[in-house]
Amino acid sequence: MADEEQYRDLTLSIMLEVAQMDTFPSLKRHADAAVLVPAAEEAVAALRTWTDKHQGLVEEQEAIAAELAERRAEIEATQGFAGKLAALKDQFLELRQMENRQRAGLLFEPFLNQLFNLFDLDARLSYELASEQIDGALVFDTDDYIVEAKWRKGAVEVEDLDKFDAKVRRKGKNALGLFLSVNGFTAGALREYDKRTSFLAMDGGDLFCVLEGRITLDELLGRKKRYANQTGNCYFSAYQALAE
């Protein structure tokens, strides 16, 4: 009582625990059990009239504390995600400025792997089959995607898309493709796949919108896939998605 503030929470915790007691085994073994047990039951019942009200407050406070903890965890996770995305954006800008383009191309592959995995797309780096080289693969919305990435000086031509289309179709009817060309595609290449396609096309503008946090990668892929299913067109840009 002399230091009530310090021991208040402990005292309340003990009171709440005692108020939940409905048996008294130690008292039953006492010589005066016939007197002590009824007295204990009466005392606990009296205590319970006070603690029932307080228990509701405690549960409400615990619920509020749990909600605040969940919000803090969400904020920390968001801040962690934003930091990683910002670091990837800086990395992309460094790759774009590198004079050694061969080295930039080699570093582009692990960069994409980090980006895809940041969005939980279960990405794999390049691997080889018996007859061909695959740039990579990822899983999105329960679908398996074959990934090909190009960072050339110019835009990708229709011949590259034809080869990729054939590669995707050889993998089975459930396989899809994602062709990423940082410097885009020629108008003729996109025109060839504007009515039927086995893959989605993504360019540097799309990529930069994701890195700037203007649209998430999974949302962009979802919009591209829906557009391709509705129109047969392989290309739907992030700017179109943001404008809608």
Which pLDDT tens digits describe the chain residue by residue (244 residues)? 777 777 777 777 788 788 888 888 888 888 888 888 888 888 888 888 777 766 665 666 677 667 766 776 665 665 688 889 999 999 999 989 988 878 887 888 889 989 998 999 888 766 443 443 447 888 898 888 999 988 888 899 999 999 999 999 988 777 899 999 999 999 999 999 999 999 999 999 999 999 999 999 999 999 999 999 999 999 999 999 999 8
The pLDDT assigned to 56 comes to 65
Do both 82 and 3 map to the same domain?
yes
Do both 120 and 222 map to the same domain?
yes
CATH of the domain at 174: 3.40.1350.10
DSSP state of 124: B
Do both 173 and 239 map to the same domain?
yes
Last residue of a domain, one of 79, 97, 115: 97
Do both 182 and 65 map to the same domain?
no
The pLDDT assigned to 3 comes to 77
Please state the domain count of the chain: 2
Do both 52 and 106 map to the same domain?
no
Last residue of a domain, one of 62, 97, 132: 97
Q: Whose structure tokens read 């993504």?
A: 202
Q: What is the dihedral of CA 138, 139, 143, 148, to 10 degrees?
A: -10
Do both 65 and 147 map to the same domain?
no
Please calculate the CA angle 151-153-158 and round it to the nearest 5 degrees: 75
Do both 68 and 162 map to the same domain?
no
DSSP state of 143: E
Do both 224 and 110 map to the same domain?
yes
Please calculate the CA angle 219-144-79 and round it to the nearest 5 degrees: 40
Decide: helix, strand or coil at residue 183.
Answer: coil
Do both 87 and 114 map to the same domain?
no
Do both 108 and 229 map to the same domain?
yes
Q: Name, in order, each residue with C-beta under 8 angstroms of 132's C-beta and a sequence gap of 6 or more.
A: 167
**CA separation for the pair 233, 224 (Å, rounded):** 9
Domain residues for 181? Answer: 102-243
Do both 72 and 123 map to the same domain?
no
Please calculate the CA angle 111-98-106 and round it to the nearest 5 degrees: 40
Strand order in the sheet with 143-150: 136-140, 143-150, 176-181, 199-203
Name the β-bridge partners of 182: none
Q: Alpha helix locations (H) across the chain?
A: 4-19, 25-28, 33-97, 101-118, 158-169, 187-192, 204-211, 217-231, 238-243
Do both 123 and 19 map to the same domain?
no
